[in-house]
Amino acid sequence: MQTKRMLLADDDEDDRLLFAEFINEREDMELIHCTGNGLEVVEYLKNTPDVNNHPHLIILDHNMPKMNGTQTLAALKSNQLFSHIPVAIYTTYSHTKLKQDCFDAGAAMVTDKPSSPVGYHKMFDEFMKLISVP
């Protein structure tokens, strides 16, 4: 089984550390890059031309400086080099319009930020379902 490469963007350092901890606990996932805003996600991918080094999934917090999750998603989906990479967005401020806007922009998943370890494990199980890599 191939390890699934993840790229994470969240402006909250504590949340980035928590996500990294959950990803590192799993043998089926690898966190290849972690950043604090969406603009850095786009720049990272532009500077990683070898698609074999691209993530299998991009995970975005919605509320970030410089580029929020929806703006980052739009930038990713408009670039054919990485528009195929599924994007999951999580947020603490979930409402129907936000979720619909994210899905309309091409999100593969939009979810509420978990509040417990069990919630994180379930969310990562859902993330794995978004990735179609042998």
For residue 102, the domain's CATH number is 3.40.50.2300
- Tens digits of per-residue pLDDT, 92-119? 877 888 889 999 999 999 999 888 889 8
- C-beta separation of 108 from 79 below 8 A: no
Domain of 22?
Answer: 4-129
Q: Please enumerate in sequence order all residues whose Cβ is within 8 A of that of 130, keeping only pairs 6 or more positions apart, or say none.
A: 57, 86, 88, 108, 109
When divided into structural domains, the chain yields a total of: 1
Q: How far is CA 21 from the centre of its chain?
A: 15
- Tell me whether residue 40 is in a domain: yes
Q: Which residues of 13-29 are buried (b: 16+ CB within 10 A; e: fewer)?
A: eeebeebeebbeebeeb
- Tell me whether residue 77 is in a domain: yes
- Tell me whether residue 15 is in a domain: yes
pTM of the model: 0.92
- Tell me whether residue 121 is in a domain: yes
Q: Which two tokens stand for residue 9?
A: 């963007």
Residue 104: predicted pLDDT: 93
Where does the pLDDT of residue 132 fall: very low under 50, low under 70, confident under 90, or very high at 90 and above?
Answer: confident
Strand partners, 8: 34, 59
DSSP SS3 for 113: coil
- Tell me whether residue 134 is in a domain: no
Higher pLDDT among residues 69 and 92, named by residue = 69
- Tell me whether residue 52 is in a domain: yes
42, pLDDT greater than 90: yes
DSSP SS3 for 115: coil
Instruction: Quote the DSSP letter at residue 28.
Output: T
6, pLDDT greater than 90: yes
DSSP SS3 for 64: coil
Residue 116: predicted pLDDT: 87
